[in-house]
Structure 1
Amino acid sequence: MHQFTEHHRYYTFRDFAMSALDRKMLALIYQPMIGAFAIGLYELLYQQTAEDRIGYSPLSPQRKLFLGLGMDMNERGRQELIDQCSRLEAVGLLQCARLGLTDNDDFVYEYEMAKPLMPDEFFSNPHLTMLLRDKVGKYAVISLREAFYAKEADELAGAQDLQRESLTMPFYELFRLNAYAVDQELDQALAEVAPVRAVTPKPQMETAGIQYAEIITRFPRNSVNRKYVERLRGDEEQLAQLNYAAYKYNLSVVDLCRLLDEDDIFNSRGELMYDELQLRANQMYRQGRKRTEERERVIGRVAAADTAAAVDQGSEETPDEVGVLEEFYMDVPMALQGRCDIHQYNMLMRNEPHTRFIARFFPGAVPEWLIRVFEVIDLNYKLSGPVINVLIHYVLGVNDAQRVTKTYIDAVASNMLMKRVDTYEKAIGYVKEQMKLEQERGSRRESGYAGAGDSRKRTGGRATGQSAARGSRRKMDVVQEMPKGPEMSPEELAELYRLAQSFDGK
């Protein structure tokens, strides 16, 4: 409040003049939404510049506004003026800014006025239409909208379906300009005397909402980059880039000022090096995230120690055990076989804290790096205790030493998070699905290896036959005498003759 008094100076800016339609919009549409006092303030600010001109008003103390509105020049009056300005800002009729003067450490307030919306633009804005409905009612909104339109004749109701022929004369068919006679003096003079600001498109990307005044008031006065930061006041594009970087990497105004004060953020011409700014903002974001995660883990350790102490003292009751259905049973790993049966193991996996459950897989102390990995999963990833136990069963209960790596455990936990595995039952289903996929991949590999072995056998057989054929040219193999079997009886010999005659057809 000490920086917004009747002694501080102000000026207004507008680049439009109000028509009868604009005044009707103010009286019938905006006034029911924000009140007559705010509309009176708008009219007073509008009159600071002559009716037949656009641009800036002279610098004047804000005492002129207090007296023009009949307000007391005290803290209550200042708060009332701020509230009315906020109403105008909320509906898009006013934009306020505070300019810091470096010479005398003073502030100048800027009131930039905006033209009332046309009826089509206003009623196509859902927020403003809903606010007007809440103030005057649904049927009044319909009546007000009809009051701003003159209806067309009944004969032209379907004019869009009729054949339309344009009769408008284009500019260059009627006028001829001397394009070779460029008057540079005229262009320069028009640019110098133009009081209207250059219209810049509003940035469409997300923004942190940090204004230039917030940056310059927190920026060190003796900094080498101070002169470059002061140039940002009129550069909307670079301010939009700064706001986007602050929004992207969750930077505060202090963090942004710290980045702008570093070396090599501006080049020799005073231009912002946006890529370098993004790189350093990313580093600050990662460092801040790392500190936040470490702080969460420390707080989690302290809370766990307090809980354990309270349980040891008997001040808290032991939580009730949750039963496990047989359809969600998992086999006992090889490391725990003989120490517990399948029912006991699944009850432990469902109800025991992960710090105690993981200790059962090791004869001595649990490796420190493994404790840290599951601490991150517990305190930073926010996986529930039973889900972490199922994860421990999956990565430690399978006889595959290659799985016990930090990268693999983190990848499995991340995959669980992506698949929204947040209950014990979902975790069991996830593990069974993964084990089934691994079995299918293993069977496909084994079948592939067997097929390769058969092909090698077939190739070897052909090679052996070819070698034997080449050897037969050199030496004939001797046919060994076959051993004689038992002699056939006359009945069997007669039966064979009969079969041979039937085959021969005689």
Structure 2
Amino acid sequence: MSKYWQELVPVDRYIVSSAGMLHDYDRKVLALLYQPLIGPVCISLYITLWSELEQNRLWSQSSLHYNLMNTMDLKLGEIYEARKKLEGIGLLNVYKKKTDEENEFVYELSPPLSPEQFFTDGMLNIYLYKKVGKERFGKLKQFFCDDLVSLDDYQPVTKSFTEVFTTDHQDSLFVSDETEVELKPEANSKFIGRSGAKTLEGFEDTFHFDLLFAGIKNSLVPKRAFTSKVRETISKLAFLYGIDVFQMQNLVIGSVNAENEIDEEELRKAARDWYQIEYHRDMPSLSDRVQPAIYHDQTDEPKTKEDIYIRHLDTVSPRERLIQLSGGGEPSKSDLQIIEGVMLNQNLNPGVINVLIDYVMIKTDMKLTKGYVEKIAGHWARKKVVTVKEAMELAKSEHRQYQSWAQGKKESKAGARKTIRTEIVPDWMKDDQVEPSQDIAEDKGLEERKRQMEERLKKLKSRG
């Protein structure tokens, strides 16, 4: 978690405003479309701030962040992290005024995108599809759609204003300059209305358009083809799929139509095809996510080896961890499906999944067994494990039980007190090692296998 206390303290005051009228239908959009992407805490913060606005008003009373903490039963750091997500996804604008005594913030709520804007966004809709899956995405799309009524067999008969109304006294409608002022809102006020939803921002700042233009001849793609909308699409696609400038040049050239314009739909399709060929996958997936900052165990620099290990698992995605454990090779499709399945079905955080991967891979000779993974994942979900540290501690305390699951049978109490073989466990479990084997002679190759595994783990750790 970032050092929020440098930006925000409980005694700082805030005022809530709205960029325009928020409608009840917005709640459905927030709950069903935005919540899967940013989580319930962010939506709860948005709704709480919304509730502080008086009915049909655009400004709330001033309040302390301390009161907001009590209302939501959250720590200030959790509120700050949720606030940043709302800012990033375009639902909140933040303004700050610093005085000698305190800081004061204005939290301006922006309305969410309309369902049509969301489902045609080109980025949010893809993230939602990968988060909720094909079936749920289809149901959401159906929920926010309605039947299209064809008017082809009808003739428009609506009457215009001039057909209905007349005006006979032109002179009586004269308005003086003084009266003209009366028609406008008072100073320092504005009419209440509905503003447009805020689109996602910041993408063009991350893309090197000058380098893109330098590599494309004007005869191939005229400069006028790069409209503001096209530039936005290019920068979003580059961010979404990780496309560099040089590859984007080829995609742009291939998307020019007969009118020497860049076809945005063709460009999106070309970007998706490039991603699938490059990474052998359909779209950016759940396994690319990393542990949310709000669930990081450490805020300071790590001091011990275990701290460094925890920090590493907090900052890499499950897919990256699988690559590290396989010596740099791309994970198999089946392994990714297992990991994404437990992330989606058990709703486990990426850092917790990383601990699960490390534990299972070492216990099962560097293989992911679907049933074994799902059984442990289900146990951790019921225990509400959310941090790397919690996952490590639970793996230590329940190691005997997990070992019996791996063997496919339940150990007896006597067997739990006495081991037959020396077990290979992750380094972070070494403090709770089981008793040494008393019958090592029964397996002459055990020590050699253990030595090889330990050497392999050291190499993997040095690469990770």
| Global fold match (TM > 0.5) | no
Greater relative contact order (CA < 8 Å, ≥ 6 in sequence) = 2
Higher-Rg member (1/2): 1
TM-score, structure 1 length as denominator? Answer: 0.34
TM-score, structure 2 length as denominator? Answer: 0.37
